[in-house]
Chain A
């Protein structure tokens, strides 16, 4: 059973546009929600993360929006650039947990 559901599977955005990736979870014990970014030929790396005590976290052009009541969170990439083209994974875990549950990934292509 997929603990974290992610959509869309692929996304094509024009340079300068906004990329939005959505995730949903079921387990209310999760209290830590990171996003990982994976470039071709590389392993995923932590991009940004949020805890449910805030509804939004912003780092540069990347923003996580979190809706605790709906058990949903999303990644927004503002002013998308070709260099943002990568696969993005959302995940959920406990803050001090020892296992992540990953979404199925979104392949983002930003067209110049």
Chain B
């Protein structure tokens, strides 16, 4: 069974530029999460989807971050414009319905904003 797929794995951009990250969850997993992880810190939830509905986006900085999960499968997280402080690893995770604790994480996208 394929795991959670994310792309790109690494991205370097200049500040004020836009950037987008893509995630393909494990087949059949209805719940999808986007996390931000800074060096030496634990993951911080940005947004959680149940199918195509964003059920928790309270931690998403909506002035510059946006996300979508069309058709309830793949998801895209966008930052526009990026700031220096956005440099971090962006993790996508998915979990089976009713087993939210069993989150399967993707390899992450390491973003560097210069």
Partners in one complex: no
Residues on B close to A: CB < 8 A? none
